[in-house]
Structures are given as structure tokens and as C-alpha cells.
């Protein structure tokens, strides 16, 4: 293996950004499209949207284990082509007439999309780790995170310029994008040896038993689920709060989202220098703490733009210390023959994305934005403490990471 990042890993990095760009051209507008349907009510639309993150929990866990058993590239390419067909399915479901067929069609297709999307992410990260020397893996994970953020920034604008963001045509275009990426992956991995992928034959039972016995992974999932529940408040309930409290709340929220994406892109490179000087566990503790102070600034803003901007910048810094380093930490604690299993199991942190919006919405409706983000800040600090406690317990056992 060459001393630098290999061509295959670069294609995986760019591909992750491309996949994010393609998905975000259509999926964020799914709720808008569904709401315009004459056949679906609000509860039915909510049920369709909720189907994806629920299915994603199973996809990530099973996909990671399957990649350790059957080989990384087989699961990766299969998931990409499955995503292609799921987006074609969205396009087909949009043409269904009648409430029940459209409801069941969209629930089924969105479940498939969530399942295979969550399968693609951890398997691609595990394959990147397989193909990269340990000293270059932090850089590879940081580059992947940057590519995903660039894709998230470019996707909506590209869809808007093309004029198909909230139309069924967006699903068709996204499907073709995933098809092209799947063909490229199949081409570059053709003939790739499997000896680095499956070093030791395992079963689903043995992989699950190994996960249950790793206290570091348990602490990571628990702390991560709490953190994700806090993080999702910015994407879900902050928009509702600002729209309710400010006459130009929608515009302010759009500005803050743009600022978040720009701050992540601009700050990632300089902060990476500091991240390299510390351990992944300490980086996640620091990042979660910075994030907590960002949410505290939003809680104290009372709608003031200066405090809101400060909060978003701190939140952006915090996520840079947490998200890409989380992948590095998983790679660090995972046995080589269970790398896919660990990456998949770590996605159970996404349960916070399922629970967070509803709990946050309840607090927002009954106590207001200030209380919501103060409580969220406290839970973020709890997440940091769990990371610290989990690392301390492991270190006391005499085997520090």
C-alpha cells in the first residue's frame, strides 16, 4: 500500500460527498411534496417521514455485521444500487392515486431508503479504514466529513437551480446519480482481493456477543445517542421557535443553517491541527462541551442575532471535534475482523435523531425556546461526562487507549 491515501479511498471520500449531495437534492423536500398531496393528512406524512430513521437503525447494525461476514465491497455496492432503486421507487410512488396505496408505497420506499442509506455509511467508513494505513486514517475521516458537508451545501442549491427540488423529477435524478456511483464503485473494486476484508470467519451471533462485551462501545453509543438528541434540536425545533418568536424567523433560520455549513467547512482544517494533538476520546469530550456552550448561547439569546450567531459558531466547532473523530475512535477500539460490525453498531447513536425532535417539541410547546436549549445544553454536558466516565473506567483497568 502506498504511503499516501489510495485512489480507491479518494473515490470513497468523494463518493460520500456525492451521495450526500444527491440525497439532499430530494429528501429534505419530501415533506413539502407529501404535504401537497391531496391524499395524505399530517399524521400520515409524519408516519412516512419517521419510517426512514427507524429502518436506518436496523440497516446500520445489520449492514456492518454483514460486511464483516460477506465482504465490504459486496455490501457497499449492493447498498448503492438498492438506493438507486429506492429513489426510482419514490418517483413511482408519487404517481400512485388514492390515499392508502400512496401511504403504504411511500412508507415502504422510505423504509428501504433509510435502511440502505444507513448501511452504506458505516460500510464505506470501514472499507476506508481497511484500505488506509493507521497514521493516515484520521486525515481520511476528516476529508470524508469535509466532503459530506460540501455535498450538503451544494445539493439544495443545485436542485434549486435545476428547478426540480420539490418535484418527483428530483427522485429520478437522485436515482440516476446513485446508479452512476454504483457503476464506478463496481469498476474500481473489480478484482480487489478480499483477504484484508475477512481475516477471520465470524457469525452474527459471535459479532453481537463481542459488541455486548465492549464497555467503550456501550459508552460511546449511550453518550452519542444523547448528543444526537441535542444536535437535532438545531435542525428541527429551532426553526419552529424562531418562526414563532421572530417576524423574520424563517429567514434567520436559513441564515443560521448557511452559517453552520460555512463555519464547518472553514474551521475544519485549522481545528484538525489541534485534534491531531489529542486523543479521539478527549476530542469528543471537548467537542461535546463546546457544543453545550453553543446551545446555552442560543438559550440565552431571546431571539438576539448576535447570541444566535455565537451559538451556531460554537455548535459548528463542537461538531468538528465530535463527528469525524467519532469514526476514528470506533476504528481505534474495533478488532480488525469486526470493524464493519463496530461501525454499524455505532450508528445506534442515531436513535437520538428519532426521539429528540418529539421530546424537544414537547419542551418547546410547554416552556419555550430558552428552556428547550438550556435543557439540551445540560444533556450535552451529560454526554461529555459519559464519554469521560467511560474512558476513565477503561483506563483504570490498565489498558488505556
The verdict on 357 and 308 lying in the same domain is yes
The verdict on 239 and 138 lying in the same domain is no
Average pLDDT along the chain: 82
Q: How many domains does the chain have?
A: 2
Q: Is the pLDDT of residue 300 over 80?
A: yes
Q: What letters, b where the CB count within 10 A reaches 16 and e where it falls short, cover 40-75?
A: beeebbeebbbbbbebbbbbbbbbbbbbbbebbbbb
The verdict on 39 and 160 lying in the same domain is yes
The verdict on 249 and 151 lying in the same domain is no
**pLDDT band per the 50, 70, 90 thresholds, residue 155:** confident
Residue 81 and residue 112: Cα distance in Å, rounded?
Answer: 12
Domain boundary residue, one of 198, 227, 254:
198
Residue 192 and residue 198: Cα distance in Å, rounded?
Answer: 13
The verdict on 172 and 213 lying in the same domain is no
Q: Is the pLDDT of residue 197 over 60?
A: no
C-alpha angle 162-167-170 in degrees, rounded to nearest 5: 60
Cα–Cα nearest to 310, from 286, 294, 287: 294
Q: Is the pLDDT of residue 195 over 70?
A: no
SS3 of 41, please?
Answer: coil
The verdict on 311 and 242 lying in the same domain is yes
**pLDDT band per the 50, 70, 90 thresholds, residue 3:** very low
If phi > 0 it is left, if psi is from -120 to 50 it is alpha, else beta; for residue 41 that is beta
How high is the pLDDT of residue 398?
A: 47
Domain boundary residue, one of 146, 165, 198:
198
Q: Is the pLDDT of residue 236 over 80?
A: no
The verdict on 263 and 300 lying in the same domain is yes
The verdict on 146 and 209 lying in the same domain is no
The verdict on 39 and 78 lying in the same domain is yes
Per-position DSSP letters for 3-18, written without gaps between them: SS--HHHHHHHHHHHH
Q: Which residue has the cell 440525497?
A: 23
Continuous segment of H or E residues that includes residue 368: none
The verdict on 42 and 155 lying in the same domain is yes
The tens digit of pLDDT for each residue in 333-380 reads: 888 778 888 888 887 888 888 788 888 888 988 999 999 999 999 999
Percent of the chain exceeding pLDDT 90 equals 23
The verdict on 233 and 128 lying in the same domain is no
The verdict on 15 and 148 lying in the same domain is yes
pTM (2 decimals)?
A: 0.75
Domain boundary residue, one of 198, 219, 250:
198
CATH of the domain at 373: 1.20.1250.20
Q: Which domain holds residue 168?
A: 1-198
Amino acid at each position: 500500500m502506498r504511503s499516501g491515501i489510495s485512489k480507491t479511498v479518494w473515490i470513497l471520500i468523494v463518493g460520500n460527498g456525492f451521495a450526500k449531495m444527491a440525497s439532499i437534492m430530494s429528501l429534505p423536500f419530501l415533506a413539502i411534496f407529501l404535504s401537497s398531496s391531496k391524499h395524505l393528512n399530517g399524521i400520515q406524512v409524519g408516519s412516512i417521514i419517521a419510517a426512514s430513521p427507524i429502518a436506518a437503525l436496523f440497516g446500520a447494525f445489520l449492514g456492518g455485521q454483514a460486511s464483516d461476514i460477506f465482504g465490504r465491497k459486496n455490501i457497499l455496492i449492493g447498498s448503492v444500487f438498492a438506493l438507486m432503486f429506492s429513489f426510482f421507487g419514490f418517483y413511482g410512488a408519487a404517481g400512485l392515486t388514492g390515499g392508502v396505496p400512496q401511504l403504504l408505497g411511500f412508507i415502504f420506499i422510505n423504509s428501504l431508503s433509510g435502511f440502505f442509506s444507513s448501511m452504506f455509511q458505516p460500510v464505506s467508513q470501514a472499507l476506508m479504514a481497511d484500505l488506509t494505513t493507521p497514521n493516515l486514517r484520521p486525515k481520511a475521516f476528516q476529508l470524508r466529513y469535509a466532503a459530506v458537508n460540501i455535498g450538503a451545501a451544494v445539493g439544495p442549491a443545485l436542485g434549486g437551480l435545476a428547478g426540480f427540488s420539490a418535484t418527483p423529477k428530483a427522485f429520478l435524478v437522485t436515482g440516476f446519480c446513485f446508479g452512476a456511483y454504483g457503476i464506478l464503485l463496481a469498476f474500481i473494486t473489480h478484482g480487489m482481493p478480499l483477504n484484508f476484508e475477512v481475516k477471520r470467519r465470524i457469525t452474527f451471533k459471535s459479532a453481537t456477543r463481542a459488541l455486548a462485551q465492549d464497555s467503550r462501545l456501550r459508552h460511546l453509543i449511550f453518550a452519542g445517542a444523547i448528543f444526537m438528541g441535542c444536535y437535532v434540536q438545531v435542525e428541527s425545533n429551532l426553526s419552529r421557535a424562531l418562526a414563532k418568536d421572530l417576524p423574520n424567523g424563517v429567514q434567520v433560520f436559513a441564515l443560521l443553517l448557511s452559517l453552520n455549513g460555512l463555519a464547518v467547512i472553514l474551521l475544519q482544517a485549522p481545528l484538525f491541527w489541534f485534534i491531531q494533538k489529542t486523543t479521539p476520546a478527549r476530542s469528543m469530550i471537548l467537542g461535546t462541551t463546546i457544543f453545550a456552550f453553543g446551545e446555552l448561547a442560543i438559550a440565552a439569546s431571546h431571539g438576539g442575532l448576535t447570541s444566535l450567531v455565537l451559538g451556531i459558531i460554537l455548535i459548528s466547532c463542537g461538531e468538528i471535534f465530535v463527528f469525524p473523530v467519532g469514526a476514528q475512535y470506533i476504528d481505534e477500539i474495533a478488532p480488525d475482523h469486526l470493524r464493519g460490525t463496530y461501525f454499524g453498531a455505532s450508528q445506534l447513536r442515531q436513535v437520538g435523531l428519532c426521539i429528540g425532535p418529539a421530546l424537544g417539541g414537547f419542551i418547546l410547546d410547554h416552556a419555550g425556546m430558552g428552556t428547550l436549549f438550556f435543557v439540551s445544553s445540560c444533556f450535552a454536558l451529560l454526554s461529555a461526562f459519559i464519554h469521560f466516565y467511560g474512558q476513565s473506567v477503561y483506563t483504570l483497568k490498565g489498558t488505556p487507549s
